[in-house]
Structure 1
């Protein structure tokens, strides 16, 4: 076999492999695997950090009570009480972030309060003694738990957006019936989808923002990131992606109309 034929065969195999790798279902499966790894690592770090603080919180609660007395034993219940509430909130956010559902303000307040309570009880003795080394030592685990609790929610949200973006891109490439008028295709059930996403209390996904931008577009309007931000109130980084996808849809649709 000549070199040209071998390269041609490799090119065909590479194109077929890439077609399978970029399928939305394959992308979603890979993201799910990454999501599982992220969850396991974050949960391990959070639980280890809370376990580290348990003895210091018990010392704070028991004060100078005799060991193995009833108050001394009851002091061991304080840290699990706070930690279990925090873990319950984080477990609930794990599900809401997966489906991009927005939680109320009390959820965030409860999370911050439990983290602040753990930090204060864990470092109180070091502050009282004026021990800088003790403050640093006992501040690191609660702060790591706090940062991880905030970061893991955003990470899950972005991973969900990655899956949504993969499906949106696949839908854009497979726009059906390009002979339909571009204005009708842009404004019909998409406007209803955008209004539905506005009425619900769910956190907007990439598809929601895209549907809202579609519904707001009119012939003659130039699709730019600035225009997308004005009509959807999305972030600056997201507006560039939305503008690119919407402009591609309109270009494909107009090309179909001309043909």
Structure 2
């Protein structure tokens, strides 16, 4: 007699509800097995105030030790660091701007105007200082408020005005790059200055003064000497400003890029339009100017006036002159 074991049936697959109930039971089991966080330490009955204070310090130290490992506060810029960074950035931009040819030319022009203004004011004060000495020479002991005494006050002013006309013209033309070195004008300057110096010094010279005083003589010739020094030094200073080279590359700046000095492009009869037009064509070829530049762009690139820029724009329509 043989016995046969019936084949076992395969286990049925769990349903979604059974899976959900199993997951819930697993979560409940894990939550029961997890350690329960201990409540915050409370003062134990019988502890002194000193023990409680030390316990609080220890707890605070543990918290601080955990926070010290975080470097986030060190990555933030303080107000002092931001202020220094701002100052450094501003200094760098100012230095970059100071290297721009347009800025350097503007600074030189401003300094030149200031020096000319100071020189002319000092010259006027020096001539005014000598007015009293000239009046004393011209009055020749006339009674106060007599016609001769009053008219003697007018001798120095009209000589000074004539001298200031010559000096002012030479100063202005020197600032425009056209120094006026005509020998006749220079002789006129020295004539007025010599007359002023002589009339101030004559009454106080050793052979004319009743009682010679060197300090009085120096005091009265001080004005004319200052005037001579200014008239001699001003043309030299202006000539030095005229020959300043402000740079022609304009690297890193905000102003126009100067490819060549414009002074050879100007003659004693005015600007050479053909030379300026050839220069504009080179700038167009190099891509520094558009194919049909306007008057403003031409004026900015050449550093010339509006009339000259307009003439150059008209010359661009003519065929270029080849060498």
TM-score (norm 1): 0.59
Task: State yes or no: 1:137 paired with 2:137.
Answer: no
Contact in 2 for aligned 1:101/1:201 (Cα 8 Å):
no
Equivalenced residues, count? 182
* Greater alpha carbon shift after TM alignment, 23-32 vs 39-48: 39-48
Distance, in Å, in 1 between the alignment partners of 2:258 and 2:138 is 64
Write the mapping of 1:1-259 to structure 2, written as runs, cut at 5 A: 16-103=93-180, 104-127=182-205, 128-129=208-209, 130-162=212-244, 165-168=245-248, 170=250, 193=264, 200=268
SS of corresponding position for 1:143: helix
Cα shift at 1:37: 2.3
| Alpha-carbon distance in 1 for matches of 2:92, 2:132 | 58
CA distance in 2, matches of 1:108, 1:175: 36
CA gap of 1:105–1:168, structure 2 versus 1, over 3 A, is farther
Alpha carbons of structure 1 residues 90 and 20: separation in structure 2 relative to 1, 3 Å: same
- Encode CA deviations 1:58-90: one digit per residue, 9 max, x unaligned: 110110222222222211111011100111111
Matched with 2:254 is none
Question: Which 4+ stretches in 1 moved above 4 angstroms?
Answer: 9-17, 167-171
Residue 166 of structure 1 aligns to a residue whose secondary structure is: coil
**RMSD in angstroms over aligned alpha carbons?**
3.6
CA distance in 2, matches of 1:10, 1:56: 56
DSSP 3-state at the match of 1:158: helix
Separation in 2 of the partners of 1:115 and 1:153? 16
The separation in 2 between residues aligned to 1:175 and 1:68, in whole angstroms, is: 64
User: In structure 2, do the counterparts of structure 1 residues 143 and 175 end up closer, same or farther at CA, with 3 Å as the change threshold?
Assistant: closer
Alignment CA distance shift 1:152-1:175 (3 Å): closer
Cα 1:13/1:137, change in 2 over 3 Å: closer
CA distance in structure 2 between the aligned counterparts of 1:11 and 1:121, rounded to whole angstroms: 60
Distance 1:12 1:51 in 2: 50
Measure, in 1, the Cα distance between the counterparts of 2:125 and 2:258: 49
Pick closer, same or farther for the CA change 1:95–1:169 going to 2, 3 Å.
Answer: farther
Tell me, yes or no, if the aligned pair for 1:102 and 1:201 is still in contact at 8 Å: no
Q: 1:223 is matched with which residue?
A: none
Q: Which has the higher helix share?
A: 1
Contact 2:112 2:175 in 1 (8 A): no
Q: Give the secondary structure class of the aligned counterpart of 1:111.
A: helix
Assess, with a 3 A threshold, how the Cα gap between structure 1 residues 136 and 17 changes in structure 2: closer, same or farther. Answer: closer
8 Å Cα contact 1:21/1:27 also seen in 2: yes
Alpha-carbon spacing, 1:99–1:124, altered in 2? closer, same or farther (3 Å): same
CA distance in 1, matches of 2:258, 2:103: 20
TM-score, structure 2 normalization: 0.48
